[in-house]
Structure 1
Amino acid sequence: MESLLDRAGGPGLLFDRDRASPDDRSIQVAEVDAALPLWIVGDLHGDLLALEAALAAIAQETPGSGAEQPRIVFLGDLFDDEGFGLETLLRVFELILQAPERICVIAGNHDVALSYDGVRFASSVSPADFADFLNAHLSHEWMERTGKLAVRFFATAPRALFLPDGLLIAHAGFPLGDLHERLEGSGDWNDPACLADFTWTRAHPTARRKLPNRFSRGSQFGYQDFAAFCDLAARMGRPVTHMVRGHDHIEERYAIPPAYRARPLLTTVALSRRLPRETFGPHERTPTLARFVEGSLPQVHRLHIPAALVDAIFPDASAEDSAVAKPSPGACP
């Protein structure tokens, strides 16, 4: 991966050829061959099990070899929230090395939050257990190099893809209303504030509008906010009619809010278990991935992983705690 990133002309990842410059992270894609499968994998957060299930499903849906082989866009957030962050990161790197022209990784907020000051790793988001893991293994040269590579890789990774059929692909959202006048005046889609909104904002499922909150990075948007952005993007020569994103950990692992029917929105995440910060719902979940359909929202595929396998790979700590606390039958109170 170090050699790939050092390569003259860049690593040659999927859609890199559409970058306006090497530093372009808000990419306007010129053409997408609808005959070639394009898959979208949402947040993983160290869920190596869901990643392998997604890859198996993609392989099953894509018979043959050669030019028909699938292309994959990852929506970011590869680590944190316990799980197998290192292994998931390395597995994605392995996919890139096998065929860089078929893989695109969009940076998520946990990915860009990771930093390295030359001595220790840190993160500006919580939970940040991947940074803690790297710091606990600083004496291991390969661990340190992997962490530094992750910081370098995500620093230049795309924050958004504008596809020619009107599909916007991002980890989280889009530049909110208070940035529209500035964006339209400058034409700078790589304005740091715009890149941050692609990476950090959250979708409200029913609200018409939400006021941007620049005192935190967790601003929400509503369906009229998305419609206003679509109008702006069209005026600026980047028509947007629908969107696919991750970021929000929906219990069903995907959502298409009815309020957004005029400008449809799909949220998809690939998580097979309840994260430690998710309070409600079953421990075992049904992760999703999506397949690009030209002119429409991507088609959602659900990955039905056996519950016993999820429990074996990701033991339910809350259930174990309950079992310890629960008195045995016949025990004295």
Structure 2
Amino acid sequence: MAPPPLQIVEVEQLDWQAVRDAANPSSIRSNMRATVERMEALLDKADGPGLLFDKDRTDPADKVIQVSKLDTGSPLWIVGDLHGDLLALEAALTVMHDPALPSDGALPRILFLGDLFDDEGFGLEVLLRVFELIVDAPDRVCLIAGNHDEALSYDGVRFASSVTPSDFADFLNANLAHEWIERAGKVAVRLFARAPRALFLPDGLLVAHGGFPLVDLHARLAETGDWNDPMCLSDFVWTRVHPKARKKLPNRFSRGSQFGYEDFAAFCSLSSGLGRPVTRMVRGHDHVEERYAAYPAYRAHPVLTTVALSRRLSRESFGPYERVPTIAQFVEGTLPRVYRLHIPADMIRDVYPELAPGSPESETIQEPH
């Protein structure tokens, strides 16, 4: 049986000037001390910060969370890779609070799929804005670690990153003399160290940044049932979807392993046998040109990729500079509904001036006009 068609909503009529005004780096930085202090206090709580789905952890160290029950009366929004895209984040938040959308007055819940920074843009400001959302309502925000988030580290003296590009770590090191920027970076490292790597929702939706434990881990996983095995955690974060392949051999010599549709079917069977039924998946990680993709080859077990990037990144070689970022809304029993945010092209170029070929990559700040 063919899966139902993907639901797509085109968001064109929005108060774009209000979105532009909200994407104000100076305003966000002006609240940095208070935001970081509140975030530190939340992480210092003896019983944990109490983020969305934390109550479903089997123990505080559990990073592969089986959600026992999902409140479908409150909208659950899914935001993929931002990579410093403050404009796309503010557009997403505006859509989530749009009174024209049916919500029965319920406040939105937000599930971030990771990769908040790197690739220029406004990594610090996006991080601080997410901190604000968390401290204002911890039980309405879940943050899954992406590969760029997981890669950020701090050794007590300097920040480092095990991925490329790693301009956010460079930015933090260039601002070590700024107490609150340094402390924001340290809070980020703490937050992502405890962040989940995957969620198993009760209706069969798997949520991760990248993918799932690949086939060479299945026998051991079937034997141990240890979802928090470090190699499993790595696959949830790092693996990439191949849009057409049946199977792909795991490549353990790099972090570029892919999976095919039969690999995902095998994982769904394994997971169901371990008491965690999976029928489909939503993920980020792959910066597809349309900023979302659902793959026809995966019709038996559908996969949705969604990323919230309004610009072409420096490491993306093709396509237009201005993009249509996407977010998704959970729909029980099927793939999430995709919202395409048609931010005006001139606004995108205003916030993110296109670098000329050969220009140095740097974190720039453009004030609203």
Q: TM-score range by the shorter chain?
A: over 0.9
Ranges of 4+ aligned residues in structure 1 off by more than 4 Å:
61-67
Counterpart amino acid of 1:289? I
Q: CA deviation at 1:189?
A: 0.4
Match of 1:99 in 2: 137
Out of 50, 60, 66, which is 2:98 matched to?
60
Do the aligned partners of residues 260 and 169 (structure 1) sit closer, same or farther apart at CA in structure 2, a change above 3 Å counting?
same
Do the aligned partners of residues 66 and 96 (structure 1) sit closer, same or farther apart at CA in structure 2, a change above 3 Å counting?
farther
Match of 1:240 in 2: 278
Match of 1:143 in 2: 181
CA-based RMSD of the aligned residues comes to 1.5
For residues 67 and 12 of structure 1, the distance between their equivalents in structure 2, rounded to whole angstroms, comes to 23
For residues 216 and 253 of structure 1, the distance between their equivalents in structure 2, rounded to whole angstroms, comes to 25
TM-score (norm 1): 0.94
Q: Deviations over 1:253-311 (max 9, x none)?
A: 00001000000000000000000000000000000000000000000000010000000
Do the aligned partners of residues 66 and 89 (structure 1) sit closer, same or farther apart at CA in structure 2, a change above 3 Å counting?
farther
For residues 207 and 99 of structure 2, the distance between their equivalents in structure 1, rounded to whole angstroms, comes to 22
Match of 1:183 in 2: 221
Q: CA deviation at 1:320?
A: 10
Alignment of 1:1-333 (within 5 A): 1-60=39-98, 68-318=106-356
CA contact (8 A) 2:74 2:103 kept: no
For residues 258 and 99 of structure 2, the distance between their equivalents in structure 1, rounded to whole angstroms, comes to 35
CA contact (8 A) 2:75 2:103 kept: no
CA contact (8 A) 1:47 1:83 kept: yes
Which one has more relative contact order, counting CA pairs under 8 Å at least 6 apart?
2
Do the aligned partners of residues 165 and 6 (structure 1) sit closer, same or farther apart at CA in structure 2, a change above 3 Å counting?
same
For residues 65 and 294 of structure 1, the distance between their equivalents in structure 2, rounded to whole angstroms, comes to 15
Q: CA deviation at 1:318?
A: 3.3
For residues 214 and 288 of structure 2, the distance between their equivalents in structure 1, rounded to whole angstroms, comes to 22
After the TM superposition, which of the residue ranges 32-41 and 195-204 deviates more from structure 2? Answer: 32-41
Do the aligned partners of residues 269 and 122 (structure 1) sit closer, same or farther apart at CA in structure 2, a change above 3 Å counting?
same
For residues 163 and 94 of structure 1, the distance between their equivalents in structure 2, rounded to whole angstroms, comes to 26
Counterpart amino acid of 1:220? Q
In structure 2, runs of 5+ residues without a counterpart are 1-38, 360-369
For residues 99 and 274 of structure 2, the distance between their equivalents in structure 1, rounded to whole angstroms, comes to 37
For residues 283 and 113 of structure 2, the distance between their equivalents in structure 1, rounded to whole angstroms, comes to 7
CA contact (8 A) 1:62 1:70 kept: no
TM-score (norm 2): 0.85
CA contact (8 A) 1:62 1:69 kept: no
Do the aligned partners of residues 61 and 229 (structure 1) sit closer, same or farther apart at CA in structure 2, a change above 3 Å counting?
farther
Do the aligned partners of residues 64 and 226 (structure 1) sit closer, same or farther apart at CA in structure 2, a change above 3 Å counting?
closer
Counterpart amino acid of 2:342? H
Tell me the percent identity: 71
Match of 1:325 in 2: none
Tell me the secondary structure at the aligned position of residue 245 of structure 2: coil
Match of 1:331 in 2: none
Q: CA deviation at 1:34?
A: 1.4
For residues 105 and 215 of structure 2, the distance between their equivalents in structure 1, rounded to whole angstroms, comes to 41
Q: Deviations over 1:75-118 (max 9, x none)?
A: 00000000000000000000001100000000000000001111
For residues 105 and 58 of structure 2, the distance between their equivalents in structure 1, rounded to whole angstroms, comes to 26
Aligned residues: 321
Tell me the secondary structure at the aligned position of residue 188 of structure 1: coil
CA contact (8 A) 2:206 2:282 kept: yes
CA contact (8 A) 2:76 2:108 kept: yes
For residues 298 and 313 of structure 2, the distance between their equivalents in structure 1, rounded to whole angstroms, comes to 27
Q: Deviations over 1:233-255 (max 9, x none)?
A: 00000000000000000000000
Tell me the secondary structure at the aligned position of residue 290 of structure 1: strand
For residues 154 and 27 of structure 1, the distance between their equivalents in structure 2, rounded to whole angstroms, comes to 15
Match of 1:329 in 2: none
Match of 1:327 in 2: none
Tell me the secondary structure at the aligned position of residue 98 of structure 2: helix
CA contact (8 A) 1:180 1:232 kept: yes
For residues 15 and 65 of structure 1, the distance between their equivalents in structure 2, rounded to whole angstroms, comes to 20
